[in-house]
Structure 1
Amino acid sequence: MGFSFSFEPLIPWPWVWALAALFALVVCIGALRGVKGWPLRILSAAFILLALLTPMTNQEDRDPLSNIIFVVADKTASQSVSDRPAQIEAALARLAQEIGTLDGFEIREVVVENDLSARDDGSFVLGALSKAAAEVAQARIGGAIIITDGRIHDADVLGEFPAPVHVLRTGRAADWDKRLVLINAPSFAIVDEEIKLRLRIDEQGAVPSTQRGEAVLSIDIDGENYGTFPLPTNRELELPIKLAHGGVNVIQFNVHPEEGEVTHRNNSAVLSINGVRDRLRVLLVSGEPHSGERTWRNLLKSDSAVDLVHFTILRPPEKLDGVPVSELSLIAFPVRQLFLEKIEEFDLIIFDRYKRRGMLSAQYLRNVVQYVKNGGAVLVASGESFAGAESLFRTDLAEIIPARPTARVIERGFHPMISSLGQRHPVTQDLERFAPPKITDDDTPSWGRWFRLIEAEPLRGDVVMTGAEGKPLLLLDRIEEGRVALLLSDHAWLWSRGFEGGGPQLELLRRLAHWAMKEPDLEEERLSARSDGNQITITRRSVLDSPRDLQVQNPDGSLRALEMQEHSPGQWIAQFEGTENGLYRLYDGDQEAVIALGPTLPREFEQTLADGVMLKPLRRVTGGGEIGLEEVPSPDLRIVRAGRVAAGEQWLGLVDRQSYVTLAVRQAPVFPAWFYLIMAAGFAILGWWIEGRRRNLSTS
């Protein structure tokens, strides 16, 4: 219940002031003329004015409201390290118990967590407090207590706050950490050319003397170890790296974890660099002019990134026409330079209908074999000579050619068919999409026929296409570090000429060439992942009937198993929702991949040691205090008046705002109307009586 006074004037306020001025003027004139009753006239005028103002008493029926104390629990990723989760839970339990015992106080708990959909997330503690405070009346807020490590990213968001804001700081004084910082991260780099990455390994906190000054860094590129290096800490370093292939190269950096670190989450970083070849060097050797020779040349010359060296053998050694070489319009075949001195400079060597004619000696062909074993690529597009005595299979190249010719050449029309293995192989998978529209409903492909097939017995490798009588048409094989492709027909050019509707000849030859040059998108066995928000989609490509079980390692080190569903032949897909930002490692047998959800190194782990300096300006403005939970696990809570000191070394103050809701208001006059009439008339009559008596006395 509450009492107050108010005025309910009978006339407008300006008239009241005018009347008061008139009364004052009359009284002043009387006083100046020496009228003895002027004080009584003042009292009479005052009661007349009070009667006009009508003073009222207000009696309120009030319902007191509790004071709201916001307890903000920072449960972002940086608060998940060490024993901070236990500190948070213990502090929450103690605050709930102590505030619950205070009469007229209630607790509002606000939990702040990371938003995985954000591309660069952080600790937005004050934003959460501001939003919660906007939902209640400001007059009810008695204070706020933030349980945090102090590493927040919205220190200037809150603005004004009507009560003290206190900080309970988590963490330990002995905490220490090492973190990896990538200073430059190029998006593109040239394959086989050295790039220099700048990085730094920072030491934070009380690092033990035995572990100070040095760290061990390991680097993996596409899951394979590139090297391990001992590096000094707290210094900017340049690290030379070469990319081995075109396309996306995933480079993973790992600082070896050390016992005692607050967290190992900031010891790793992943960098995706798109490898581009400065120039792809291709050597095309045509054994003789033929209709399909132009097809290979057009394909390779259409790519501006390809340097093509093309030689066509127009005059073999056995042709004795008496014309000197110096008088020929074309240069002589530089065999020694190409196959001995500069063979390692080529990314791909194509033998197009080449046959053994003495142009390449056994030593040069052995160089080609060694070139493939060292990581080179050879594509043999055979003609009918491949089945005869002049076949390349009857040279040292037989060591790398994946099929043995039977000497039979099938010369009749057939539709090239994709084998069951070829349906899963990236070189021939979905090749029908690039073919002309299909007219019939049978299993016959929509592309045109070929009319020559060199029969051969597969020795190794993968048969991805078949021809007449189901015989192998296209074989792909790996020889140690290199690759070999064998096309057992020279009629692919019929597709480019549009015969019987043509076919996807350019797409097939392009895939063959890029597979041979180790394009990552055409790898038979590949594990990859992409993210959309916090949804991660994993794609497993394999020529096997089914992939192995997929294991996912979360950023916190825990493992989960995922079941993959077949999406199309040779392609399996699995999806899951990431629960936290950071690096996810994927394992499927001998295939590995990594993907970063959110930033590779979240802002949460840039600074991991607890420090309340960012909240100091807010505490100074609101009068709040800061207490470390390590030193004072259970600070006292005291009720203080607004504007008074609200914090001490071991206690925090909460303000009693004494807010309420008015249920009803009853008004009554302070005095009845007749009282003002009697008082005003009485003082006026008394004044006149005194003045009249004085005049009588002066007359007598």
Structure 2
Amino acid sequence: MTGSLRFDPMLPWWMIGALTAVALLVAGFALWRKLKGWAWRGLAGLAAAAALAGPALELATRAGLSDIVILLDDRSASQSLPGRSDQTDEAIAALEREIAALPNTELRRVTVGDAEEGTLLGDALERAIAAEPENRVAGIVAVTDGQAHDPALIPQDAPAPVHTLLTGRAEDWDRRLAIEEAPAFGLIDQTVILRVRIEDQGAVPDDVAGRPASLRISVDGEDEQVLAVPPGVPLDVPITLTHAGQNVVQIGFDAPETDGEPELTDRNNAAAVTITGVRDRLRVLLVSGEPHAGERTWRNLLKSDAAVDLIHFTILRPPDKSDGVPVTELSLIAFPTRELFMERIDDFDLIIFDRYRVRGILPPTYFDNIARYVEDGGAVLVAAGPEMASVESLNLSPLGRILPAQPTGRVVDAPFLPELTDQGRRHPVTADLPGAPPPPDAEVQDAPTWGRWLRMAEVDPREGEVVMTGADGLPLLVLDRVGEGRVAQLTSDQVWLWGRGFEGGGPQLELLRRIAHWSMKEPELEEEALEADVGAGLTVRLTRRTMQDSAGPLEITGPDDYSLTLPMEEAAPGRFTADWTAPEPGLYRLRDGETINRVLALGPAAPREFETTVASDATLGPLSEATGGAVLRLSEGIPSVRSVREGRQAFGRGVGGDWIGITPREASTVTGLSRRPILPGWAWLALIAGLILAGWLSEGRRIARG
């Protein structure tokens, strides 16, 4: 029980102060006048002021509180390195037993796991201290490898000694790959620079220190190159992106061989960087054989795309026509046929022949060169009209050998409704086109469909895939791959009717855009492809596009000999999907037979938990030193726990080994409270009256003697 003086004033404090001042002034005046009884009257005034202040004795009943020891248990990924998990388990078990044996002591265990930002040791420590009353925290023990990725949050001080018990061993070492600089985007067929560095950490063996590592680099798992890189020296690696979309760059080296201790882990010996390949500008050459209603459609489509550089020529008059117009007035500029089709042809991503007739403007050698351009990776799109069935057809030129359909010579002049074939419902160029007519076996047949076209040429398909048909089921759109390039053949010039809204119109711009971008090998329009949409955490939605009736199962391999066979379910014609959650960040290879082989990087380029693997007291050491705590290695033994008085050294070495100390705080809480006046009211009244009477009697005796 403890007591303290409290006041319960009957008047405001300023009035009590004024009364005290008056009493003191009266006593002082009486003293100055040398009047007897001045002291008694002054004491009476002070007693009156004290009575008005209401002094009371407050008595509190207290109960002792237990001390709290915070035990920080680091279970981050770096703690899974060889030996560390066992060290942590043994240390935690021993500390729990010893702290439980201490009198009046409680244990608060805080487990630190992995976060997206790494090991948030500082945040966990700060939260654990803030969650407990400061006057009850007797000690803090952290069992960790010391790797914290939030060093700014490590407290500068603590209410009790902080002891750091490091896992690992003093002879641990590691060699890792560090990605210093990696671009997110790069231009196709141009070089981007990737800066890497080999870094040695810890007690590196003499036979490994300074020895170069054989660094292997590949893009999408192909064309691996090997470079010898000494540790500690930044290296600029040139990477050439070969296609649009994601390019996964794999970089890694084998664990160095040594006669001594092996390195801690090889998980940081490799990394994956995803660089998105983009085209600088899509260069398109559009050659219109004659003015017609649909010519403006192609021009508007290509000019509306800011990423397309368009060169457009329209042949207004054939060379054999004689109408008296001077040659100098036939065109604004000369048609640079040799420069376009011989010297600069490889600069174009796509060549479009729109209702083009073979009239002698381009000699046969030019058409041969165009066919060579396609076979080497170029693209040609032929949008034809009635001229396809005439003797001026492109099929009768040397270009005809790469065209997938051959005209029969007949033109169908009758309205027809374009329809998708079974292959067309699978092909990404035509699949899911808005307003497409339902398949013949669909339950609903009265849904809104496209408007009709009025004319097409009859052809016989020779190669490729017929994705759209017209009158009498004749091929309307044929797509084909020739060598490394692509060819698209549209056998009607009536697509502009959709743009004019004839009979409801149709997706004119979307269809032409898809044809053009498929011809230029845009990844989202590939027939055989595997898409990976990475969601929250490590969840992935896998989508397999194929022209086949089935797909999968998908074979997935990853770090630590991870292997999984994942079945795919059909979501739409030619599209199969599956949801998958990766067990951990890293590099995964996805394979579907021999046709699809993709590399997928999940998580950071190199896991942050393994950037630094050698145990260190660099982050927690200063806090332990500031609070009088210890920094000890568990490889040298688990310390015992003692109680020491506050202010004394909280660690040491005894006969049985190292020990760490906690400081009992002897905290308590109030369980009961009572207040008792120093004097009752009648006693104060008697005291004041007695003092006044004593003063009066003192003055009375003086008068009597006088």
Q: Which moved more, 1:182-191 or 1:619-628?
A: 182-191
- Structure-1 residue corresponding to 2:462: 459
Pairwise CA distance, 1:416: 0.8
CA deviations 1:25-71 (Å, max 9, x no partner) are 9xxxxxxxxxxxxxxxxxxxxxxxxxxx9999989685x65433222
Q: Does 1:523 align with 2:526?
A: yes
| Alignment match of 2:163 (pick from 157, 161, 166) | 166
What is the letter of the counterpart of residue 488 of structure 1? Answer: T
CA deviations 1:554-588 (Å, max 9, x no partner) are 56552344444444433333334455455555444
- Structure-1 residue corresponding to 2:660: 652
Alignment CA distance shift 1:84-1:544 (3 Å): farther
Superposition map of 1:125-204 within 5 A: 125-157=121-153, 158-204=155-201
Identity of aligned residues (%): 49
TM-score between the two structures when normalised by the length of structure 1:
0.79
CA deviations 1:603-639 (Å, max 9, x no partner) are 323322211121122101211111112232x222222
Answer yes or no: is the 8 Å Cα contact 2:6–2:58 preserved in 1.
no
Q: Does 1:123 align with 2:119?
A: yes
Alignment CA distance shift 1:407-1:230 (3 Å): farther
In structure 2, distance between residues paired with 1:521 and 1:138: 60
In structure 2, distance between residues paired with 1:328 and 1:88: 88
- Structure-2 residue corresponding to 1:405: 407
Pairwise CA distance, 1:652: 1.6
Superposition map of 1:622-637 within 5 A: 622-632=627-637, 634-637=638-641
Superposition map of 1:283-298 within 5 A: 283-298=285-300
In structure 2, distance between residues paired with 1:446 and 1:57: 92
Name structure 2 gaps, 5 residues minimum: 11-15, 28-53, 257-261, 438-443, 677-706
In structure 2, distance between residues paired with 1:289 and 1:596: 51
Q: Which moved more, 1:202-211 or 1:501-510?
A: 202-211
| Alignment match of 1:234 (pick from 212, 226, 232) | 232
Pairwise CA distance, 1:227: 3.9
Superposition map of 1:113-512 within 5 A: 113-116=113-116, 121-157=117-153, 158-208=155-205, 209-210=207-208, 212-222=210-220, 224-225=222-223, 227-246=225-244, 248-258=245-255, 260-319=262-321, 325-326=327-328, 328-329=330-331, 331-432=333-434, 442=445, 446-512=449-515
Pairwise CA distance, 1:111: 0.8
Pairwise CA distance, 1:451: 1.9
What is the letter of the counterpart of residue 613 of structure 2? Answer: T
> What is the Cα-based RMSD across aligned positions, in Å?
3.9
Pairwise CA distance, 1:293: 2.3
Pairwise CA distance, 1:602: 4.2
TM-score between the two structures when normalised by the length of structure 2:
0.78
Q: Does 1:572 align with 2:576?
A: yes
Answer yes or no: is the 8 Å Cα contact 1:214–1:230 preserved in 2.
yes
Answer yes or no: is the 8 Å Cα contact 2:56–2:675 preserved in 1.
no
Answer yes or no: is the 8 Å Cα contact 2:591–2:598 preserved in 1.
yes
What is the letter of the counterpart of residue 242 of structure 1? Answer: T
In structure 2, distance between residues paired with 1:268 and 1:133: 38
CA deviations 1:282-314 (Å, max 9, x no partner) are 122223333322322222223333222223334
CA deviations 1:83-138 (Å, max 9, x no partner) are 3223222322232333334444343221111234xxxx122223223323333333
- Structure-2 residue corresponding to 1:677: none
What is the letter of the counterpart of residue 140 of structure 2? Answer: A
SS at match of 1:614: coil
CA deviations 1:416-436 (Å, max 9, x no partner) are 11222222222112211699x
In structure 1, distance between residues paired with 2:226 and 2:389: 51
Pairwise CA distance, 1:161: 2.1
- Structure-2 residue corresponding to 1:71: 71
In structure 2, distance between residues paired with 1:59 and 1:243: 79
In structure 1, distance between residues paired with 2:97 and 2:435: 68
Alignment CA distance shift 1:178-1:528 (3 Å): farther
SS at match of 2:365: helix
In structure 2, distance between residues paired with 1:10 and 1:177: 71
Answer yes or no: is the 8 Å Cα contact 1:434–1:507 preserved in 2.
no
Alignment CA distance shift 1:226-1:521 (3 Å): farther
| Alignment match of 1:545 (pick from 538, 543, 549) | 549
What is the letter of the counterpart of residue 621 of structure 1? Answer: A
Q: Number of paired residues?
A: 625
SS at match of 2:181: coil
